[in-house]
């Protein structure tokens, strides 16, 4: 898991071939106008999901993880709190992993909460169990999904 400000994002570009494109999208796009929906940056291997919504609050935010995608969660406006938990401490819920949606939920609650204010991002790799939208307030955020498996095309 990584938590930082957008102005420091390019230091993380060498970690994955899709990261530079993702961070350039955050810096060069009109994110204030991209409030809802999906924007494909590179087919199914790199896409952005925008949402403007009221948070769920810490009590109702659910722990989740992904296997095929890395999440880069960027707060455009407002401030999110994202829960975090070590995967070995997590108890999968009764539904298990949903391969179509690439998501697995967990029945326990996070022990750590990370503030992610406007202008900040958090990167969650497949081993990072996280609970987004822990804020009680309205938030505008963009999540870029980066495929773990990346062919060079």
pLDDT in tens, 40-89: 999 999 999 999 999 999 999 999 999 999 999 999 999 999 999 999 99
In angstroms, the first-to-last Cα distance of the chain is 27
Could you tell me which of 17, 140, 8 has the C-alpha nearest to residue 74? 140
What's the fold here for domain 2-147? Jelly Rolls (2.60.120)
Could you state, in order of their start, the residue ranges of all structural domains in the chain?
2-147
CB-facing half-sphere around the CA of 104: CA atoms within 13 A: 20
Whether the full predicted model's pTM is greater than 0.85, yes or no, is yes
Percentage above 70 pLDDT, the chain: 99
**What is the rounded CA–CA span in Å between residue 100 and residue 58?**
27
């Amino acid at each position: 898991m990584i938590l930082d400000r957008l102005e420091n994002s390019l230091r993380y570009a060498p970690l994955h071939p899709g990261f530079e494109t993702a961070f350039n999208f955050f810096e060069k796009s009109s994110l204030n106008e991209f409030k809802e929906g999906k924007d494909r940056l590179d087919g199914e291997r790199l896409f952005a999901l925008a949402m403007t919504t009221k948070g769920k609050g810490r009590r109702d935010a659910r722990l989740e993880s992904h296997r095929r995608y890395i999440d880069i969660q960027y707060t455009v406006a407002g401030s999110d709190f994202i829960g975090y938990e070590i995967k070995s401490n997590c108890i999968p819920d009764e539904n298990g992993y949903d391969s179509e949606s690439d998501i697995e939920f967990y029945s326990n609650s996070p022990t750590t909460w990370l503030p992610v204010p406007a202008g900040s991002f958090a990167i969650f790799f497949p081993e990072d169990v996280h609970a987004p939208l822990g804020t009680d307030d309205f938030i505008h955020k963009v999540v870029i999904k980066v495929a773990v498996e990346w062919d060079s095309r």
